[in-house]
Each structure stands twice: as C-alpha cells, then as structure tokens.
C-alpha cells in the first residue's frame, strides 16, 4: 500500500509538473484583435481557450491589418494574429516569413475571405444591366454622394485596413474620379456599416467596399460587383495593394487566403498542444455568419460571442483541443 501510495503521489507530481511546465512554456501571450466582428470574436475565443485550456496568460491588444502584420513581420509582436488576411500585404508577409519572424499556422476561414465592391440587391434587381465596376461608373446619378448629389460616391473603409488601400487604388485604376465619383472615407467600421444601413432604410443607391463573412451582409442583401477584367496576380502584388504606387491598373479582387499568423519566437516556446490548437482551429463562413448575426442581434461583445459559441457548439470546438483542455474550458464557462 505504501508503495502504491508513493507511486500515485509520484504520478500526480509528474502530471502536475507537466501542467506547470506547459503553462510556463506558453507564458504571456498577446493576441491581436482587428476591428471587425469576426476577428474580434476569434481573438476572444483564442484568449478563453488558451487561458482556460492551456494555462496561458493571454491578453488582447487592439490592432488593424496593416500595422499588426507589419509589426509582426518586423518586430515579432504581437504573438498571434488570429485572422490575418495576408493577400492584402503579400510582400510584408513574405519578408516576415523569409526572415524567420512569423509563421503561418492553419486557416481560421478555410472558405476564404471574399472582398470587393458591392451594391444593394434591390438596386441590382432594378438595374440588371449593372453587373461590373465599369457598369456602375456609367451611372453616378444612381449612387449619390451624400455631400454633393451631382456626383456619385464610392464608400471606403477606415484607414489601417488593407481593403481601404486596395479600394483607393482601384478607384484610381478604374478612373472613378473622372467618371464623376468621389471616394468617401467612412472613418470607422461603424461608419461604413452605417452608410449601408442608411442607404437600405431609404432604398438609395450605394456602392463601396465590403467583405464576407459578416453579419451585416446577412442582414442586408448585397451583390458583389464583378471587376469586368481578368485577375492579374502580378499586377495585384506590384501596385493594387501598395498605397503609394502611382499607376494602378484595373484588376479582379482575388478570394483572400486567411491564416493565423504567429510570431516565430512564440511558436518556439508555446508547446505542441498550443500550436496544435492554433493549427486545427477553423470554422466555416456559415458558422461565422450565424454567430455574428447573434452578436449583432444581442449587442454582444467579442467575449460574449466567444462564450456563446463555446456553449452552443461543443461538437465543433472540442475537435480543436485535447480532451483535458476541453474539460477545463467547459468548467470555466
């Protein structure tokens, strides 16, 4: 009995030591939360799972696509960008991976991210001839500028978004200014969403940048415009994604590869369990749309959304984590 007791104590001691070692390996973690809904809820989901399931000390830091990915590529901070739309900054990402500061770890959105210029479905149905960006630019009167109804308007995202850079470049490339359109800086994600909501309430014309998956496109039916030109990957990389490139050409917006970026320094200390979770953690656009719709309807924060997902989708997230971590995460909710 004494031998059995001693063996049991030793076994618990070894497991306890392993748990402490795992937590020590993970340590402090900074997770970038981009200022759009799907990225916000995913960063909170990672925080809960890493802290409760793997003993990390994770904190969220607010970021945007361009500054966050650039900082990771140049400085190795923050530690994790859960939802990085890397096609918006191909050279920066390549430099960071080539120089060993960042690694790509799985994809949170295997369906890919869809970006582009959109118009309301009711307007597309009323004007079936408008299918492409050049088609829109023939009709500034259908997309009035709120400050000058004699001109059309293309609504852009806030500064700091990669999509804002591309929209500005496509605005120049397609000759939108010459066609009588102004480029409207909406100032924030809320401002961009508000401009769509306002147009819908008044059944007015609207054209501008947006992306999927999002709750808003589930609430307001929108139609993505075709570019009217073939995709040119080399030109996209050379100029369409570069803010100060002076001669952008019309181009097709590719379906974006969305990955989780991890600082190499963190990947080397985090341990196989944590890195295994980050590589497995992914959800469909449909799952994300439904979750974001719930968040919008309930005015829920990213943390609220993450907890709601964990409570209602055990069959999904338990496949991402170890059985031991799953028990700890459930107990924390």
Cα–Cα distance between 5 and 22 in angstroms, integer? 26
- Regarding whether 317 and 271 lie in a shared domain, the answer is yes
Check if the beta carbon of residue 260 is closer than 8 Å to that of residue 107: yes
- Please give the pLDDT value at position 243: 95
Asked whether residue 5 is assigned to any structural domain, the reply reads no
Asked whether residue 4 is assigned to any structural domain, the reply reads no
Sign of CA dihedral 149, 151, 154, 158: negative
Q: From 221, 255, 289, give the residue that closes a domain.
A: 255
113 CA to centre of own chain: 8
- Regarding whether 211 and 281 lie in a shared domain, the answer is no
- Regarding whether 132 and 167 lie in a shared domain, the answer is yes
Check if the beta carbon of residue 174 is closer than 8 Å to that of residue 137: yes
- Regarding whether 251 and 148 lie in a shared domain, the answer is yes
Cα–Cα distance between 165 and 66 in angstroms, integer? 10
- Regarding whether 186 and 125 lie in a shared domain, the answer is yes
- Regarding whether 72 and 43 lie in a shared domain, the answer is yes
Asked whether residue 271 is assigned to any structural domain, the reply reads yes
- Regarding whether 249 and 138 lie in a shared domain, the answer is yes
Asked whether residue 11 is assigned to any structural domain, the reply reads no
- Please give the pLDDT value at position 277: 98
Domain range for 226 is 114-255
Check if the beta carbon of residue 58 is closer than 8 Å to that of residue 32: no
Q: Show pLDDT as tens, one digit a residue, over the chain (333 residues).
A: 333 333 334 333 433 334 444 444 689 999 999 988 899 999 999 999 999 999 999 999 998 889 999 999 999 999 999 999 898 888 999 999 999 999 999 999 998 888 999 999 999 999 999 999 999 999 999 999 999 989 999 999 999 899 999 999 999 999 999 999 999 999 999 999 999 999 999 999 999 999 888 888 878 889 999 999 999 999 999 999 999 999 999 999 988 889 999 999 999 999 999 999 999 999 988 799 889 989 999 999 999 999 999 999 999 999 999 999 999 999 999
Sign of CA dihedral 159, 165, 166, 170: positive
What distance separates the 2 farthest-apart alpha carbons in the chain? 91
Burial of residue 317, with CB atoms counted within 10 A of its CB: 0-12 exposed, 13-18 middle, 19 or more buried: buried
Asked whether residue 9 is assigned to any structural domain, the reply reads no
- Regarding whether 307 and 182 lie in a shared domain, the answer is no
Asked whether residue 2 is assigned to any structural domain, the reply reads no
Check if the beta carbon of residue 40 is closer than 8 Å to that of residue 228: no
- Regarding whether 33 and 53 lie in a shared domain, the answer is yes
Cis peptide before 302 (omega within 30 of 0): no
Length of the chain: 333
Q: From 255, 272, 306, give the residue that closes a domain.
A: 255
Asked whether residue 3 is assigned to any structural domain, the reply reads no
Nearest to 154 by CA among 215, 75, 205, 208: 208
Residue 249 has a CB neighbour count (10 Å cut-off) of: 17
Asked whether residue 18 is assigned to any structural domain, the reply reads no
Mark out the alpha helices in 281-320 (DSSP H runs).
285-297, 302-312, 314-317
What is the C-alpha radius of gyration for the chain, rounded to an integer number of angstroms?
A: 23
- Regarding whether 128 and 58 lie in a shared domain, the answer is no
Total domain count for the chain?
2
DSSP state of 239: I
Q: From 203, 222, 255, give the residue that closes a domain.
A: 255
- Regarding whether 233 and 266 lie in a shared domain, the answer is no
Cα–Cα distances (Å) from 2 to 6, 13, 28, in that order, read 6, 16, 40
DSSP state of 160: T
Cα–Cα distances (Å) from 78 to 17, 63, 102, 136, in that order, read 28, 9, 10, 40
**CATH of residue 228:** 3.40.190.100
pTM of the model: 0.68
- Please give the pLDDT value at position 104: 97
Strand 258-263 versus strand 80-85 pairing type: antiparallel
Cα–Cα distance between 262 and 31 in angstroms, integer? 9
**CATH of residue 273:** 3.40.190.10
- Regarding whether 238 and 289 lie in a shared domain, the answer is no
Cα–Cα distance between 92 and 81 in angstroms, integer? 14
């Amino acid at each position: 009995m004494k031998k059995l007791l001693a063996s049991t104590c030793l076994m618990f001691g070894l497991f306890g030591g392993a748990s402490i070692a795992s937590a020590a390996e993970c340590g402090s973690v900074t997770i970038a939360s981009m200022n759009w809904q799907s990225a916000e809820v995913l960063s909170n989901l990672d925080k809960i799972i890493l802290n409760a399931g793997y003993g990390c000390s994770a904190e969220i830091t607010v970021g945007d696509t361009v500054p966050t990915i650039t900082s990771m590529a140049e400085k190795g901070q923050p530690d994790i960008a859960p939802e990085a739309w890397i096609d918006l900054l191909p050279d920066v990402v390549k430099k960071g991976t080539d120089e060993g500061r960042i690694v790509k770890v799985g994809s949170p959105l295997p369906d890919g991210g869809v970006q582009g210029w959109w118009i309301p479905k009711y307007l597309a149905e009323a004007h079936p001839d408008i299918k492409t960006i050049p088609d829109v630019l023939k009709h500034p009167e259908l997309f009035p500028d709120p400050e000058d109804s004699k001109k059309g308007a293309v609504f852009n995202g806030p500064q700091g978004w990669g999509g804002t850079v591309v929209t500005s470049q496509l605005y120049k490339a397609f000759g939108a200014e010459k066609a009588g359109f102004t480029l409207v800086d909406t100032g924030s994600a809320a401002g961009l969403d508000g401009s769509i909501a306002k147009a819908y309430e008044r059944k007015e014309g609207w054209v501008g940048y947006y992306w999927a998956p999002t709750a808003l496109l589930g609430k307001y039916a929108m139609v993505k415009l075709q570019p009217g030109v073939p995709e040119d990957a080399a030109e996209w990389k050379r100029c369409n994604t570069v803010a100060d490139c002076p001669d952008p050409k019309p181009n097709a917006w590719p379906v974006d590869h969305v990955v989780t970026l991890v600082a190499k320094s963190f990947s080397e200390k985090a341990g196989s369990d944590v890195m295994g979770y980050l590589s497995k953690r992914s959800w469909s656009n449909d799952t994300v749309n439904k979750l974001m719709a719930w968040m919008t309807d309930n005015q829920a924060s990213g943390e609220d959304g993450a907890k709601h997902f964990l409570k209602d989708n055990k069959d999904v997230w338990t496949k991402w984590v170890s059985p031991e971590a799953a028990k700890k995460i459930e107990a924390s909710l």
